[in-house]
C-alpha cells in the first residue's frame, strides 16, 4: 500500500511510512485491516456444552489520506531574555490519514476501499480485496 501512495505523491516509501507513523490517527489503519466476525453458536465435539461467540469487530471498508499543504506551527524558542516564538514558515505538503470530516480537502485525496471486511487481507489476496482511488 505504501508504494501506491508513494507513487501517487511522487516520493519514496520510507517518506510515506515516516509521515504516517507520526500521524495520531494510526488507529484508522488498524481498523481498516480488522475483520468482522459474525456471532456464532457452536458445540465442542464430545461435549453437550454450547458456546456463544458474540465478538464482533467493526472493520472499516475504507481508508482515506489527504496530501496537501498544511501550515507550519509556530516553533517555540527559549532565549536568555524571555520565551518567544518564531513566525511560522511557509506551508509544507504533508500526507496524513483522515476521515474527511475534520479538515477540508485542499489537495489530493487518495483512498483505499475493501470490497469486503469479512475476509482477512493477506499478501496473496491484497490486490483482489483492496482498490486505490484518487
Does residue 80 or residue 17 have the better pLDDT? Answer: 17
Per-residue pLDDT averaged across 62-74, rounded? Answer: 84
In 44-134, DSSP assigns E strands to 50-53, 62-70, 75-78, 83-86, 92-98, 108-114, 130-133
pLDDT of residue 38: 53
Per-residue pLDDT averaged across 27-48, rounded? Answer: 66
pLDDT of residue 46: 53
> What value, to the nearest 5°, has the Cα angle with vertex 24 and ends 23 and 26?
75
Q: Which of 92, 67, 81 is nearest to 6 (CA)?
A: 67
DSSP state at residue 11: S
Query: Does the pTM of the predicted model rise above 0.85?
Result: no
Amino acid at each position: 500500500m505504501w508504494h501506491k501512495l508513494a507513487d501517487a505523491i511522487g516520493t519514496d516509501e520510507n517518506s510515506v511510512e515516516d509521515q504516517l507513523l507520526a500521524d495520531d490517527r494510526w488507529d484508522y489503519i488498524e481498523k481498516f485491516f480488522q475483520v468482522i466476525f459474525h456471532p456464532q453458536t457452536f458445540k465442542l465435539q464430545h461435549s453437550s456444552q454450547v458456546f456463544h461467540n458474540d465478538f464482533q469487530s467493526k472493520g472499516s471498508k475504507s481508508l482515506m489520506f489527504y496530501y496537501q499543504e498544511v501550515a507550519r506551527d509556530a516553533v517555540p524558542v527559549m532565549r536568555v531574555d524571555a520565551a518567544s516564538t518564531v513566525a511560522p514558515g511557509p506551508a509544507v505538503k504533508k500526507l496524513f490519514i483522515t476521515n474527511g470530516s475534520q479538515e477540508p480537502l485542499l489537495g489530493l485525496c487518495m483512498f483505499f476501499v475493501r470490497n469486503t471486511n469479512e475476509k482477512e487481507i493477506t499478501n496473496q489476496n491484497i490486490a483482489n480485496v483492496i482498490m486505490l482511488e484518487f
